[in-house]
Amino acid sequence: MRLFIQCCNNNCGRRIYLNIVAPTRDNLARRIGHDFEIRCPHCRNYSAHTVNDVFAEAGDSSVLGGAIVGGLIGLIGGPLGVLAGGALGGAVGANADEQERSRVRIFNKGVD
Protein backbone atom coordinates (compact mmCIF):
# COMPACT_ATOMS: atom_id res chain seq x y z
CA MET A 1 0.00 0.00 0.00
CA ARG A 2 1.23 3.48 -0.81
CA LEU A 3 -0.04 6.80 0.50
CA PHE A 4 -0.16 9.85 -1.69
CA ILE A 5 -1.54 13.35 -1.94
CA GLN A 6 -2.38 15.24 -5.08
CA CYS A 7 -0.16 18.26 -5.76
CA CYS A 8 -2.38 21.33 -5.45
CA ASN A 9 -0.50 23.31 -8.10
CA ASN A 10 -3.00 23.36 -10.99
CA ASN A 11 -0.20 23.21 -13.53
CA CYS A 12 1.09 20.02 -11.97
CA GLY A 13 -1.56 18.04 -10.07
CA ARG A 14 0.63 14.97 -9.90
CA ARG A 15 0.68 12.43 -7.12
CA ILE A 16 3.22 12.93 -4.36
CA TYR A 17 3.95 9.64 -2.64
CA LEU A 18 4.65 9.73 1.07
CA ASN A 19 7.56 7.71 2.42
CA ILE A 20 5.44 6.57 5.35
CA VAL A 21 2.61 4.06 5.54
CA ALA A 22 -0.13 4.19 8.17
CA PRO A 23 -3.23 2.02 8.52
CA THR A 24 -5.61 4.99 9.00
CA ARG A 25 -5.62 8.79 8.73
CA ASP A 26 -5.91 9.03 12.54
CA ASN A 27 -2.78 6.96 12.91
CA LEU A 28 -1.02 9.06 10.29
CA ALA A 29 -2.02 12.28 12.11
CA ARG A 30 -0.55 10.96 15.35
CA ARG A 31 2.74 10.32 13.62
CA ILE A 32 3.23 13.31 11.30
CA GLY A 33 0.64 15.76 12.63
CA HIS A 34 -2.80 16.63 11.29
CA ASP A 35 -1.47 19.53 9.23
CA PHE A 36 1.78 19.30 7.36
CA GLU A 37 3.64 20.96 4.56
CA ILE A 38 5.01 19.00 1.68
CA ARG A 39 7.14 19.89 -1.30
CA CYS A 40 6.15 18.44 -4.64
CA PRO A 41 9.13 16.62 -6.20
CA HIS A 42 7.73 17.36 -9.67
CA CYS A 43 7.09 21.12 -9.62
CA ARG A 44 8.95 22.05 -6.37
CA ASN A 45 5.83 23.77 -5.09
CA TYR A 46 5.40 23.91 -1.29
CA SER A 47 1.85 23.38 -0.16
CA ALA A 48 0.01 22.83 3.11
CA HIS A 49 -2.12 19.73 3.50
CA THR A 50 -4.01 17.83 6.17
CA VAL A 51 -4.23 14.08 6.60
CA ASN A 52 -7.67 14.27 4.95
CA ASP A 53 -5.89 14.99 1.66
CA VAL A 54 -4.03 11.69 1.91
CA PHE A 55 -5.29 8.68 -0.03
CA ALA A 56 -4.08 5.12 -0.27
CA GLU A 57 -3.59 2.96 -3.32
CA ALA A 58 -2.61 -0.65 -3.66
CA GLY A 59 0.97 -1.39 -4.55
CA ASP A 60 1.16 -3.29 -7.82
CA SER A 61 3.87 -5.83 -7.01
CA SER A 62 2.21 -8.40 -4.73
CA VAL A 63 0.95 -10.80 -7.45
CA LEU A 64 4.32 -10.69 -9.16
CA GLY A 65 6.03 -11.33 -5.80
CA GLY A 66 3.89 -14.41 -5.26
CA ALA A 67 4.78 -15.79 -8.68
CA ILE A 68 8.48 -15.26 -8.04
CA VAL A 69 8.31 -17.01 -4.66
CA GLY A 70 6.44 -19.87 -6.32
CA GLY A 71 9.08 -20.07 -9.04
CA LEU A 72 11.84 -20.37 -6.43
CA ILE A 73 10.03 -23.21 -4.69
CA GLY A 74 9.71 -24.80 -8.12
CA LEU A 75 13.46 -24.56 -8.75
CA ILE A 76 14.16 -26.57 -5.62
CA GLY A 77 11.49 -29.17 -6.37
CA GLY A 78 12.34 -29.91 -10.02
CA PRO A 79 10.00 -29.81 -13.05
CA LEU A 80 6.97 -31.10 -11.14
CA GLY A 81 7.74 -28.56 -8.39
CA VAL A 82 7.69 -25.71 -10.92
CA LEU A 83 4.02 -26.43 -11.62
CA ALA A 84 3.13 -26.84 -7.94
CA GLY A 85 5.27 -23.88 -6.93
CA GLY A 86 3.73 -21.66 -9.61
CA ALA A 87 0.21 -22.54 -8.45
CA LEU A 88 1.13 -22.02 -4.81
CA GLY A 89 2.82 -18.71 -5.56
CA GLY A 90 -0.23 -17.53 -7.51
CA ALA A 91 -2.50 -18.36 -4.58
CA VAL A 92 -0.25 -16.57 -2.10
CA GLY A 93 -0.09 -13.54 -4.39
CA ALA A 94 -3.86 -13.40 -4.87
CA ASN A 95 -4.43 -13.59 -1.13
CA ALA A 96 -1.91 -10.82 -0.45
CA ASP A 97 -3.64 -8.77 -3.14
CA GLU A 98 -7.02 -9.11 -1.42
CA GLN A 99 -5.49 -8.08 1.93
CA GLU A 100 -3.89 -5.10 0.21
CA ARG A 101 -7.20 -4.01 -1.31
CA SER A 102 -8.96 -4.19 2.05
CA ARG A 103 -6.19 -2.14 3.71
CA VAL A 104 -6.62 0.49 0.98
CA ARG A 105 -10.42 0.48 1.46
CA ILE A 106 -10.06 0.91 5.24
CA PHE A 107 -7.65 3.82 4.87
CA ASN A 108 -9.70 5.63 2.22
CA LYS A 109 -12.98 5.19 4.10
CA GLY A 110 -11.39 6.49 7.30
CA VAL A 111 -12.71 3.79 9.63
CA ASP A 112 -10.51 2.19 12.23
Sign (positive or negative) of CA dihedral 38, 42, 45, 48: negative
**Identity at 23, one-letter amino acid code:** P
Distance of CA 95 to the CA centre of its chain: 15
The answer to whether residue 12 forms part of the interface with Zn ion (CB under 5 A) is yes
Residues in 40-99 that interact with Zn ion by CB under 5 A? 40, 42-43, 45
User: 67-70 long-range CB contacts below 8 Å, 24 or more apart?
Assistant: 67/93, 69/93
Residue among 36 and 81 whose Cβ is closer to Zn ion: 36
Q: Which of 32-40, 55-63, 64-72, 92-100 is the region at the interface with Zn ion (rule: CB under 5 A)?
A: 32-40
The answer to whether residue 5 forms part of the interface with Zn ion (CB under 5 A) is no
Interacting residues with Zn ion (CB under 5 A): 7, 9, 12, 40, 42-43, 45
